[in-house]
Amino acid sequence: MTVKMEGLEVLGGVPLGIKGGNPVVFHEDSQEILELSGSKPSMLRLGDRCLTALGGRRTNDKGKDLGPDWEKAYLRLQEICQKKGTFFMERLRGPGLWLEDGKPFFHDGKKFVKTDKHMYVSDPRGFVEPEPGNLLECAQIFYIQIYQAYGKETATALLGFIVSALAGGAIPWRFHLWLSGPRGTGKSTIWGILREIFGGYAIALDGKSSAAGIRQQIRASTRPVLLDESEPQEISQGVDDGFHLS
């Protein structure tokens, strides 16, 4: 069930809850989760409209406008967020397929979506949805080619990876597939085909990526991740650590 935005939310700030005594807000303009302290620089991140709606305007003795009253705005926002309860990062979800109330829910990452249980954040870098028609056709051709080249078990495992990768967060465990074999057996070729099948839906990285870099790319999404480490001697610690991220 999607919760309708109202009040402060139409001004670009969605109250999410309280964390360590500070209000936590999703900022529509920057598409960021903001944990706001009681300092002026922190509160100014909300923008003039939100601050004015929350705390009104400040004026001097001559009636000159001095801008929004960010101190009153902080106290008011703190009160609002207190009613939302404690904010937990586990409630945040990014683009991809998820299970919401026992049913598959696809978040395209184009805008912030709030439900009774979760908050689906948008992806400011943009998001490419998979193309169902092309995926089905490519997967069928891919299965036949891999079956002929590597046999039934390998082809079935790869096809299972494609399906489970698209299912994303709708299944309880992220599927892992490690392709190994001597040089020249087609590992990178298969990686390239998988990348073509998923298109912009997958996060494709090379073996030189660090764990931090991989984590930054994945964020809170359930999109499939393809790591190409080339040859065994080139496997970086980042790739090894990457398997612990999910």
Query: Residue range 216-239: average pLDDT?
Result: 67
| Average pLDDT, rounded, for the chain | 77
Question: How confident is the model over 42-59, as a mean pLDDT?
Answer: 87
Output 158 or 97, whichever has higher pLDDT: 158
Is residue 237 over pLDDT 60? no
| Domain boundaries of the chain, sorted by first residue | 7-120, 132-242
Place of tokens 């529509």: 28
The residue with greater pLDDT, 28 or 158, is: 158
Secondary structure of residue 53 in the 3-state scheme: helix
Model-level pTM?
0.53
d(CA 192, CA 77): 49
Task: Name the token pair of 131.
Answer: 């193309």
Locus of tokens 């406008």: 65
Going by C-alpha positions, the residue among 40, 66, 70, 64 that lies closest to residue 52 is: 70
**Residue-level pLDDT at 10:** 45
Residue 215 has pLDDT above 70, yes or no: yes
Using pLDDT thresholds of 50, 70 and 90, give the confidence band for residue 124. low
Report the candidate in 3, 220, 203, 225 with the shortest Cα–Cα distance to residue 93: 220
- Looking at per-residue pLDDT, the higher value among 110 and 124 belongs to 110
Q: Band the pLDDT of 74: cuts 50, 70, 90.
A: very high
Strand partners, 225: 203
pLDDT at 242 over 80: no
- pLDDT at 2 (0 to 100): 33
What is the rounded distance in angstroms from the CA atom of residue 233 to the CA atom of residue 55? 60
Q: Is residue 23 within 8 Å of residue 15, measured between CB atoms?
A: yes
Among 213, 11, 156, 39, smallest CA distance to 25 is for 11
- DSSP helix, strand, coil percent of the chain (3-state; round to 5): 45, 20, 35
The arithmetic mean of pLDDT across residues 184-210, rounded, is 79
Which residue from 125, 121, 220, 134 is spatially nearest to 169, judged by alpha carbons?
220
